[in-house]
Structure 1
Amino acid sequence: MNFEPIGVITVIVGLGVLFAPVHWAFTFMVISTALGSAAAFNLPALGGASVLVPNAFLIFFCARVLMAYGEGPVLAAYAPPKAGFWLLALTMVGLMTAILLPRLFQGAIEVLTVERSVGARSIIAQVPLRFSSSNITQAVYALGGFACFGLCYAYIRRTAAPAHLVKVLLIVGAVNLGFAVADVLTYFTGTEQLLEFVRTANYALLTASEKGGFKRISGAFPEASAFADYTLVLFAATASLWLDRIRSYMTGPMAAALLVALVLSTSATALLGLAVVVPFLWSRSVASALGPRRAGRTAFLLGLAALTPIVILMIISLFPATAEAVKQFLDEILFSKADSQSGRERMTWNAAAYQTFLDTSGLGAGLGSARASSYLLVLLSNVGILGTTAFCLFVAATLGSRMPRASEGNGETASLVRAAKAGLVAGLTTSLVSGTVYDLGLTFYILAGSISALTYPRATTIQAVRAHPAGAAGRRHLGSPS
């Protein structure tokens, strides 16, 4: 085990939050997800696999939540018919496939996977199926996401503090933008080494590339597309909060800044994601405006829709050279993407993943055994039909959950649920377009656990308060975060 300097800092902060209020542990847990290329330590015994800072800090977050609430609220997240039950089923299926299927089909089929070699760059190659370090690492990531969901569920359920979650989303958005600015400044000043402390993962780091004359922003992530995927989730959540008039003076500028960073990342996946997220937010805002609270900004959105084509026509007429440059830029990063070497390579990955799904008769080759360039094919080629079905049920239960009637009057909570769902839609969109591995990142499970906690009815608590208001108040006091 080779510890990196940022890994030492992670341990120090983790030990510190064990003696701080539980809010601090949750805050640092969310902030750590912005460090997508920072390995706390690397594992030579597993081919140089990297354990990222968020996954390392999850251990301390788990310890702090258990110290504050015990295991009961965490385990309650997985009780049927909650969304967590389907996540439990998915995780169990994934672990079983990681252990059994690589040995069942060993040598009988070929899979596209990552071949790691210590001291050399890892490559993606088509090899006969065998049990490998990827089965172990992806199984650990699956357990981490599973635990993160339950821990966030317990934290949100026991604190009932949606305002703090809004604050944390704004903080992590600012941290992400800060690394984006630092990435651009260090690139043009030749001081990229200043960011090496957050670029310690044993990945191929594509942090110095340009496209269409723009520096591709990668921030604290290994490449621009990973930065764009993460930023799109934050944009969707903060834009949703702004549309619901939650801290508009902060969520509005934050959403605008994240949108600019998305465009400057020049990621085709980000642009495709925006094509899904923006209409989703638009339709949801219109529905919200027609509701009892009338929180949507329909006048602004309708005005923007009317002005956009006029502005585009004016630019084309008055600045033809600029319009031609924009056209070439979009053609390079989007329209001709499928004909590029990267596009053809990703189509080859998907074809190989689908063939793996067929060769295993729908069982999959085992969690971590195969790569693809679409999350649907990742699921089918790794965990088969059974695991894919469990994942679909988990997502459907999460996105289909609604606020209980007892909480419908809490506008901020309802807005936060809508924002978290918008973030999930954004994350799923980019993953379905270009996801390569089973792990969706801890941000996905933080949002999913928060949704499950905020939408689950508090019937027992409400009845107890009505029957014994004084006693219930005392219990709430005793159960408050320490």
Structure 2
Amino acid sequence: MLVSPPRLSFFVIVFSTLFGAAAAFGVPGLGGASVLVPSLLLAFYCLRLFMAFGEKPVFAAVSSASPGIWLLLLTVYGVFSALFLPRLMEGVTETMIVLRSSAGHRIIDLTPLSFSSNNITQTIYAVGGLLCFAFTYAYLKCGGTARDVINAMLVLAVANLVFALLDVITYRTGTAHLFDFIRTANYALLTGSEKAGFKRISGTFPEASAFAGYTIVLFAFTASLWIDRMRTVTTGLVAGLLLLALLLSTSTTALVSLAMVAVFLFWRALPASYAGHVTGRPGAIALAILAVPLCFMLILVLMPEFAKAVQEFLDETLYSKLNSQSARERMQWNAVAFQVFLDTWGWGAGLGSARASSYALVLLSNVGLIGTVLFALFVGNILSMKSGGGIREHTTMRAAKAGVFAGLCEAMISGTVYDLGLLFYLLAGSAAALRWNPARARTFRPAAAEAVQ
């Protein structure tokens, strides 16, 4: 990546986010924690763009004129909290954390607050997220285009669908071991589970819920492009297939997130359609929302034997979820996380010190009220930005914001740790950069910057 064109480096880092269960190597000193392939490639991505464009656009990404300033402040506070709060408040409360051993075993248990390897790993991920945001912003300010973002995300979406299909095929043919080379991280792998007779799609990820959380972001991005009539045939087909994959993942989180994303896209499409613009498809979205239950009822009438399987599926996915062992365990995590927030007087226990099953409680228990407010300001600024570029920049920025919103929805429902993944920060950086008029962006080009091509 160090000698490749910056555009290729951008495509590589976007594509690498697909391999969420692939470890580059392990770190025995941190209890066998895995360094994932995307995290390793991020270092080369940042170095390559720094060599090409210098530090000026990177600093612009976290200046007072950019939403990145709030992410910078959040990261600085997060690092401070990870280094000092677990020591200052040692023993004040008990937290749910992942306990690792050098043999690679991992358990989640309630332990007295103290400094641990989780503080180090989550700090590294937090800094990585900030760098990913800043250098993606720098790339798009210094020669990258909205077309690059669209192409990279479409390639990523298609690759995700291909791996999802291969996951089902290898499971049904007894050749699931062929995926072992991309499932090397020190995670508990739940890739062979079924629900009501349906294979829970996990793709390249360690479990179906992780696949669904990743896929909902891609769906929101491509669906937004389709609504805004950007490459209508391609984006519509890809969005439809991603929707099917989400449903087949049988993830409760995916279904709830999907409902929230559909409402967001419908609400956003209305002004685009009734303000004299040619974009926006509220009619199509409303028709789809009405057609799905009607078609579903028609299938049940014509195929009564299918009704029992559907009933079992819905019972396992939705109705019995709150009474399951997993749900009770996660509700306990949330209760403990909120108690941590109270016991630490709103400061939080330090980044990486606590685990929950909702991102809001992760923030409150880890970085406290200050960190939660900073994160809200960062996301709020990203989602409220207006585009200053052309139609392609405007459309791509809207799609990136939809992806950020989808990732946030999934995290708020079932997020367990501070790190939201590199794809979230890639899209946030893209949205922040594309709000600027290209004419202004040229002022950040170094005099002798290398060609992006």
Same structural fold, with TM-score higher than 0.5 when normalized by the shorter chain? yes
Match of 1:423 in 2: 403
Alignment counterpart, residue 279 of structure 1, candidates 244, 260, 263:
263
Match of 2:19 in 1: 35
- Output the CA distance in 1 between the equivalents of 2:239 and 2:426: 20
Alignment of 1:206 with 2:190, yes or no, is yes
Alignment of 1:378 with 2:362, yes or no, is yes
- Output the CA distance in 2 between the equivalents of 1:314 and 1:207: 33
Alignment counterpart, residue 412 of structure 1, candidates 392, 402, 405:
392
Offset at 1:178?
1.7
Supply the AA of the counterpart residue of 2:410. Answer: T
Supply the AA of the counterpart residue of 1:248. Answer: T
Supply the AA of the counterpart residue of 1:203. Answer: Y
More displaced 10-residue stretch of structure 1: 198-207 or 292-301 = 292-301
CA contact (8 A) 2:53 2:449 kept: no
Match of 1:226 in 2: 210
Gaps of 5+ in 1: 1-16, 465-471
CA distance 1:475–1:105, change in 2 (3 Å): closer
More displaced 10-residue stretch of structure 1: 208-217 or 29-38 = 208-217
Match of 1:481 in 2: 452
Offset at 1:316?
3.5
CA distance 1:147–1:475, change in 2 (3 Å): closer
Alignment counterpart, residue 230 of structure 2, candidates 246, 258, 266:
246
- Output the CA distance in 2 between the equivalents of 1:301 and 1:378: 33
More displaced 10-residue stretch of structure 1: 318-327 or 426-435 = 318-327
Offset at 1:246?
0.9
Secondary structure (helix, strand or coil) at the match of 1:262 reads helix
Match of 1:433 in 2: 413
CA contact (8 A) 2:86 2:350 kept: yes
- How big is each residue's C-alpha offset from its partner over 1:301-341, in whole Å with a ceiling of 9 and x where there is no partner? 34334434432332343333323321221121112211110
CA contact (8 A) 2:141 2:441 kept: no
Offset at 1:461?
5.9
CA distance 1:425–1:56, change in 2 (3 Å): same
- Output the CA distance in 2 between the equivalents of 1:56 and 1:137: 13
Residue correspondence of structure 1 range 293-372 to structure 2 within 5 A: 293-372=277-356
Residue correspondence of structure 1 range 423-462 to structure 2 within 5 A: 423-457=403-437, 460=440
Alignment of 1:63 with 2:47, yes or no, is yes
- Output the CA distance in 2 between the equivalents of 1:411 and 1:258: 25
- How big is each residue's C-alpha offset from its partner over 1:5-53, in whole Å with a ceiling of 9 and x where there is no partner? xxxxxxxxxxxx2222111000000000000000101001110001101
Match of 2:108 in 1: 124
CA distance 1:478–1:382, change in 2 (3 Å): closer
Offset at 1:256?
1.1
Supply the AA of the counterpart residue of 1:124. Answer: I
- Output the CA distance in 2 between the equivalents of 1:51 and 1:475: 33
Match of 2:381 in 1: 397
Supply the AA of the counterpart residue of 1:209. Answer: S
- Output the CA distance in 2 between the equivalents of 1:85 and 1:359: 29
Match of 1:195 in 2: 179
- Output the CA distance in 1 between the equivalents of 2:218 and 2:366: 28
CA distance 1:30–1:316, change in 2 (3 Å): same
Offset at 1:379?
0.4
Supply the AA of the counterpart residue of 1:52. Answer: L
CA contact (8 A) 1:31 1:172 kept: yes
CA distance 1:283–1:117, change in 2 (3 Å): same
Secondary structure (helix, strand or coil) at the match of 1:159 reads coil
- Output the CA distance in 1 between the equivalents of 2:214 and 2:330: 20
Alignment counterpart, residue 47 of structure 1, candidates 25, 31, 43:
31
Give the length in aligned residue pairs.
Answer: 453
Secondary structure (helix, strand or coil) at the match of 1:263 reads helix
CA distance 1:264–1:384, change in 2 (3 Å): same
Offset at 1:249?
2.0
Offset at 1:126?
0.5
Offset at 1:457?
4.5
CA distance 1:475–1:359, change in 2 (3 Å): closer
CA contact (8 A) 1:42 1:48 kept: yes
- Output the CA distance in 2 between the equivalents of 1:264 and 1:309: 17
Gaps of 5+ in 2: none
- Output the CA distance in 1 between the equivalents of 2:448 and 2:48: 19
Supply the AA of the counterpart residue of 2:413. Answer: V
Supply the AA of the counterpart residue of 2:375. Answer: F
CA distance 1:80–1:283, change in 2 (3 Å): same
CA contact (8 A) 1:379 1:438 kept: yes
More displaced 10-residue stretch of structure 1: 325-334 or 92-101 = 325-334
- Output the CA distance in 2 between the equivalents of 1:155 and 1:206: 37
Alignment of 1:88 with 2:72, yes or no, is yes
Offset at 1:476?
8.3
- Output the CA distance in 2 between the equivalents of 1:362 and 1:204: 32
The percentage of counterpart residues that share the same residue type is: 51
CA contact (8 A) 1:158 1:480 kept: no
- How big is each residue's C-alpha offset from its partner over 1:93-145, in whole Å with a ceiling of 9 and x where there is no partner? 10000000110111232111111012242000001111110000000000000
CA contact (8 A) 1:217 1:224 kept: yes
CA distance 1:426–1:304, change in 2 (3 Å): same
More displaced 10-residue stretch of structure 1: 276-285 or 197-206 = 276-285
CA contact (8 A) 1:234 1:423 kept: yes
Supply the AA of the counterpart residue of 1:481. Answer: V
The two structures, once aligned, show a CA RMSD in angstroms of 1.9
- Output the CA distance in 1 between the equivalents of 2:446 and 2:91: 59
- Output the CA distance in 1 between the equivalents of 2:162 and 2:300: 34
- Output the CA distance in 2 between the equivalents of 1:304 and 1:481: 41
Alignment of 1:267 with 2:251, yes or no, is yes
Supply the AA of the counterpart residue of 2:425. Answer: Y
- Output the CA distance in 1 between the equivalents of 2:159 and 2:75: 31
- How big is each residue's C-alpha offset from its partner over 1:400-457, in whole Å with a ceiling of 9 and x where there is no partner? 11112xx2xx211111111111111110001000000000000010000001101134
Offset at 1:297?
2.5
